[in-house]
């Protein structure tokens, strides 16, 4: 991912050097000496990229305050003390991935991650983290708070999962009770491919409905391609009548590992809060199916097609390539449809 990092002292800058050296797979952008802090932070929020402040929590809170708007879309913000002893996510810990980034930073620094979100403090299942990890759309955001509150009060929630969504029963955490689908009971959470078709028994409180996101975008691009070029082609494909879709239906962006630090691609993923997954040449070459071949691409990357193979690889078992490679301004995009499945019961 791309991470914006800001240090205020020489000691903090040395710690920033340490972070960058231990996390070479990520792309860091530092606040320059003398660069206006407010404007630098505003820019980060406008891009929705994670921010790491090395310094006091108070400085970070005052700096980000004018730009905080939406818990589902704000930039994740992490504070690290300049001795590198504590790593504290203070914004977008769940949906933005701030808690995960804090844990990763703490591991790299030998520090302690200080998580303050209620479900994490109590070591409970977090429904929004679960949705993010499994590519599930949250159809009614207010339900997140209802489900979390019940978990904290009672230690258990009920869930119905549509028969066409695969999951392993042995992996379901103790605090989640699975009910038969459309059993006539009143579950707290429903996971379904047809959210409008769920029939609920007559109760005042409706369940939180989660719907699997259908698509994976496979993307290839020339080096130093601007985010705007990537967005232009991706927008065009999603809005085409063949799909008539939005980014709310995109579970992931996939590419080759050569693009793991491609700035434009990372910015594109950050803006839409969509995880970017990359694969090696060997992994892409092993993907079965018929793909649009290119000798030029093979000579550059080692595999004859990046976007189609990456999309299918990421979409997993049962994937269907619904949009073959489309090229424009140094960008290639393909789309695979994925089958809804639960792969991670993350706590």
CB 1 within 8 A of CB 276: yes
**Cα–Cα distance measured from residue 119 to residue 127, given in angstroms and rounded to the nearest whole number:** 9
Residues contacting residue 104 through CB under 8 Å, at least 6 positions apart: 23
pLDDT band with cut points at 50, 70 and 90 for residue 199: low
How confident is the model over 330-338, as a mean pLDDT?
96
**Cα–Cα distance measured from residue 154 to residue 172, given in angstroms and rounded to the nearest whole number:** 17
Over 80: is that where the pLDDT of 197 sits?
no
Helices (H), the chain: 10-22, 37-47, 57-64, 98-109, 118-121, 127-133, 142-154, 227-239, 263-271, 281-285, 295-301, 307-315
What are the structure tokens assigned to 173, written together?
């955490």
Length of the chain: 347
CA 45 and chain centroid, separation = 16
Which of 35-44, 137-146, 197-206 holds the top average pLDDT? Answer: 35-44
CATH number of 127-212: 3.40.1390
Burial class of residue 263 (count of CB atoms within 10 Å of its CB; 0-12, 13-18, 19+) = middle
304, containing H or E segment: none
Over 80: is that where the pLDDT of 185 sits?
no
CB atoms < 10 A from the CB of 100, how many?
18
pLDDT band with cut points at 50, 70 and 90 for residue 238: very high
pLDDT band with cut points at 50, 70 and 90 for residue 112: very high
pLDDT of residue 40: 95
**Cα–Cα distance measured from residue 180 to residue 222, given in angstroms and rounded to the nearest whole number:** 49
pLDDT band with cut points at 50, 70 and 90 for residue 195: confident
Where in the chain do CATH 3.40.1390 domains reside? 127-212
**Cα–Cα distance measured from residue 339 to residue 282, given in angstroms and rounded to the nearest whole number:** 24
pLDDT of residue 202: 54
* CATH architecture assigned to 215-337: 2-Layer Sandwich (3.30)
Question: Average pLDDT over the chain, rounded to whole?
Answer: 91
Percentage of the chain exceeding pLDDT 90: 76
**Cα–Cα distance measured from residue 335 to residue 308, given in angstroms and rounded to the nearest whole number:** 7
How confident is the model over 76-86, as a mean pLDDT?
96
Q: Are strands 208-212 and 176-179 parallel, antiparallel or unpaired?
A: unpaired
How confident is the model over 228-235, as a mean pLDDT?
97
C-alpha triplet 135, 207, 152: angle, nearest 5°: 85
User: What CATH class is the domain 2-116?
Assistant: alpha beta
Burial class of residue 266 (count of CB atoms within 10 Å of its CB; 0-12, 13-18, 19+) = buried
What are the structure tokens assigned to 31, written together?
């606040």
Q: What is the pLDDT of residues 1-60, one digit of tens each?
A: 899 999 999 999 999 999 999 999 899 999 998 899 999 999 999 999 999 999 999 999
How confident is the model over 248-265, as a mean pLDDT?
95
Where in the chain do CATH 3.30.420.180 domains reside? 215-337
Over 90: is that where the pLDDT of 269 sits?
yes
Dihedral sign (CA 129, 131, 137, 140): negative
Burial class of residue 21 (count of CB atoms within 10 Å of its CB; 0-12, 13-18, 19+) = exposed
Over 80: is that where the pLDDT of 198 sits?
no
CB atoms < 10 A from the CB of 158, how many?
18
Which of 198-207, 290-299, 314-323 holds the top average pLDDT? Answer: 314-323
Total-model pTM: 0.86
CB 53 within 8 A of CB 13: no
């Amino acid at each position: 991912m791309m991470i914006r990092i800001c240090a205020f002292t020489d000691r903090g800058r040395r710690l920033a050097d340490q972070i960058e050296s231990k996390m070479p797979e990520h792309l860091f952008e530092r606040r320059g000496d003398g660069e206006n802090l407010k404007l630098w932070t505003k820019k980060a929020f406008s891009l929705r990229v994670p921010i790491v402040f090395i310094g006091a929590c108070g400085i970070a809170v005052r700096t980000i305050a004018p730009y905080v708007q939406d818990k589902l879309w704000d930039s994740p913000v992490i504070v690290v003390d300049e001795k590198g002893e504590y790593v504290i996510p203070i914004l977008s810990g769940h949906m933005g991935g701030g808690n995960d980034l804090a844990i990763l930073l703490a591991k790299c620094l030998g520090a302690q991650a200080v998580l303050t979100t209620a479900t994490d403090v109590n070591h409970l299942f977090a429904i929004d983290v679960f949705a993010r990890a499994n590519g599930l759309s949250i159809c009614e955001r207010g339900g997140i708070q209802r489900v979390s509150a019940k978990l904290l009060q009672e230690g258990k929630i009920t869930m119905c999962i549509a028969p066409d969504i695969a999951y392993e029963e042995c992996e379901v955490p103790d605090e989640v009770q699975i009910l038969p689908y459309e059993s006539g009971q009143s579950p707290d959470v429903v996971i379904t491919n047809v959210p409008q078709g769920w029939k609920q028994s007559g109760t005042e409180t409706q369940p939180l409905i989660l719907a699997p996101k259908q698509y994976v975008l496979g993307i290839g691009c020339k080096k130093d391609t601007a985010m705007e070029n990537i967005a232009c082609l991706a927008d065009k494909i999603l809005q085409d009548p063949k799909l008539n879709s939005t980014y709310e239906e995109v579970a992931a962006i996939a590419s080759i590992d050569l693009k793991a630090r491609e700035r434009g691609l990372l910015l594109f993923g950050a803006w839409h809060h969509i995880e970017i997954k990359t694969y090696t040449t060997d992994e892409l070459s092993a993907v079965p199916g018929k793909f649009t071949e290119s000798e030029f691409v093979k000579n550059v990357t080692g595999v004859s097609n990046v976007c189609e193979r990456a999309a299918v690889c990421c979409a997993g078992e049962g994937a269907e390539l619904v949009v073959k490679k489309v090229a424009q301004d140094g960008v290639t995009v393909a789309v695979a449809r994925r089958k809804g499945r639960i792969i991670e019961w993350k706590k």
